[in-house]
A and B are shown apart, each in its own frame.
Chain A
């Protein structure tokens, strides 16, 4: 991988050198997967293309894909800063500490870290309230499952993923008291073969709904082969698997945010923000609910989307207990953002332990 990066950065450096004379704003992106993953990284790259579209010659974007989370990310981000980037988006949770470290060394470069919680004078964080979308998925899953077994392919035990599991579980349980979640941690964001194996294991053990928090469409393919199993698109619409097995999806729409932040850098108005938007601003979109879902369930789901969007309903509304039975939210109480951002516990009813 290192050689690819060297080559890629050499190419980028050449590109920068030739354009140095023009007054352009340089925006860099660090991706965790390949742009062709059909999921997470694909949507970030769509955001990058939207920035190019919006500003044309006044902006120059470049990216590095497949950057591993961890120490190597620091090198990749440093390199991007050295190449003269004015604004760098680091688009995975594991880049949080590397981003902060590099930001200290480059006070004049603006950094934006996706899904993290550590900020600095030149580091903003942004994320989307995916859990709102997962509430809708959970509702559909609870209504649709005939075996009362819902499989969940989880990536890493970070708050973002745990929040998604809880949100989906709460809403599935609410409409189907017999529902049970089987959770598999695969410790990867993108490994189609492993995701396919995990989906198969869940299906063999009776799951007829498979939810995923990994980036490829391999679980969709596995569900399709198995027959009567439904899935949801993750990060991207994944509509090529509709109307069955993919019955709906959570779509990340980063484009407006990326455009706005690039504009802020150009105007010199950029300041540190902590953005956490959901269905209300369109950062989270619900992909079309296919006709495989009965009309009444679809109507309920759409009503929930509307309520989440206008703020009349919060996905974490009490009474909700923690897994050990202790009280968390009282009747009618809603969770505050601080607790949600650092969520490290399962809610009552989920079987199993969170890896730590």
Chain B
């Protein structure tokens, strides 16, 4: 066992990278669920975002165009879900599952010509002096822009939901859509916008995997992160900062357990491998003892005539 082989600064820096796709997807889904819609299609929107981002980055040579395309791709796919659930009043659970399956198939089709290609890399923030600082440099000042965007987005969603009129309307729609409708708010419009926002965030999360974390395209490369994001929203009791905490905890323990294994620490590998799931759930369950509950209209369809 040689714990000195693990550098804390590099560990923290890489846990932030590992957590970001999860954070991006989960913060988008949080907004969707706050509006009273349960979209189980996160995995599908992520993988479509991953291929859209990858393909456009390769074709244009610009990672920023790719990121934009990933958001558009995720949002477009989510409008399909929005149409099914908001206008056709289809069951949200079934539509969400179908969206995931559709997304997985569509991305495999779109990605056929992109297997084995290397994308142009995303420039990292590099502030002379600051980035080279020991310890704090690699943690705070040497990441790609999307990682900071994830943190900013969490703060923005938190502030929006808590302090703004828009946030109030969104929450009202999610808690009691009939009341919101009676007050004259356009429930369907709010929900569609929320669903598209969620899709864009999931697409962004997917692009983070295909452009930065892995960087390459392979079928099925999101490997269940969308599903973990869905669970994370529930365990974080629909609170933005807890989503961030949960994502960093999950990403962190995942990276830590790999590092501990490489350092040869004498904990059975099976325990290390399951620790990210167990510890994240445990911490969030303890935190959720404050009886926060799901938005009351979550998963229910709304039609003005009902």
**A residues adjacent to B (C-beta < 8 A):** 3-4, 7, 33-38, 66, 151, 157, 182-188, 190-194, 196-198, 200-202, 204-207, 216-218, 221-222, 224-225, 240, 351-353, 355
Contact = CB atoms under 8 A, between A and B. Distances in A.
Given A193-B221, A206-B5, A221-B118, A201 B262 contact: yes
B270 interface: yes
Contact of A4 (B6, B11, B104): B104
B262 A205 contact: yes
B14 A200 contact: yes
A218 B11 CA distance: 19
A184 B264 contact: no
A38 B268 contact: no
Contacts of A193: 18, 21, 209, 213-214, 221-223, 225
B152 to A, nearest CB: 23
Contact of B264 (A66, A196, A351): A351
A204 B214 CA distance: 16
Interface in B96-110: 97-98, 101, 104-105, 108
B111 interface: yes
Contact of A201 (B121, B213, B259): B259
Given A193-B225, A240-B116, A34 B219 contact: yes
B278 interface: no
B261 interface: yes
Nearest to A188: B223
Given A192-B214, A192-B216, A3 B18 contact: no
B218 interface: yes
Given A3-B98, A3-B101, A36-B111, A221 B262 contact: no
B112 interface: yes
A190 B221 CA distance: 8
Contacts of A66: 220
29 contacts: A3-B98, A4-B101, A4-B105, A34-B219, A36-B115, A36-B218, A38-B218, A182-B264, A184-B258, A184-B262, A188-B223, A191-B223, A192-B209, A193-B221, A193-B223, A193-B225, A194-B223, A196-B214, A197-B14, A197-B18, A197-B258, A198-B258, A200-B14, A204-B7, A205-B262, A205-B263, A240-B118, A352-B264, A355-B268
Given A37-B218, A193-B225, A187 B273 contact: yes
B133 interface: no
Contacts of B259: 201, 204-205
Contact of A34 (B121, B216, B218): B218
A201 B98 contact: no
User: B112, B215, B221: which has the most chain A beta carbons within 10 Å?
Assistant: B221
A48 to B, nearest CB: 16
A218 B216 contact: yes
Nearest to A238: B116
A240 B119 CA distance: 13
Given A38-B115, A218-B214, A201 B219 contact: no
B155 interface: no
B182 to A, nearest CB: 38
Given A197-B254, A221-B118, A204 B14 contact: yes
Contacts of A221: 118, 214-216
Contacts of B216: 192, 217-218, 221
A185 B6 contact: no
Contacts of A186: 258, 273
Contacts of A196: 213-214
A218 B269 CA distance: 22
Nearest to B256: A201
B108 to A, nearest CB: 6
A269 to B, nearest CB: 37
Contacts of B222: 193
Given A66-B220, A190-B220, A217 B116 contact: yes
Contacts of B266: 353
A151 B259 CA distance: 11
User: B7, B254, B264: which has the most chain A beta carbons within 10 Å?
Assistant: B264
User: A66, A201, A221: which has the most chain B beta carbons within 10 Å?
Assistant: A201
Given A3-B101, A205-B6, A205-B259, A355 B218 contact: no
A320 B55 CA distance: 50
Contacts of B273: 185-187
Given A38-B218, A183-B261, A221-B215, 6 more contacts: A4-B101, A34-B108, A34-B218, A36-B218, A218-B214, A218-B218
A205 B218 contact: no
Contacts of B258: 184, 186, 197-198, 201
Nearest to B115: A36
6 residue pairs, one from A and one from B, having the closest CB atoms: A34-B219, A355-B269, A36-B219, A201-B258, A240-B116, A191-B223
A193 B105 CA distance: 19
Contact of A33 (B98, B220, B261, B264): B220
A225 B213 CA distance: 11
B231 interface: no
A28 to B, nearest CB: 20
B107 to A, nearest CB: 10
A217 B218 contact: yes
A151 B255 CA distance: 15
Contacts of B223: 188, 190-194
A151 B220 contact: no
A233 B263 CA distance: 25
Interface string B75-101: 000000000000000000000011001
B23 to A, nearest CB: 14
A9 to B, nearest CB: 14
A140 to B, nearest CB: 21
B54 to A, nearest CB: 12
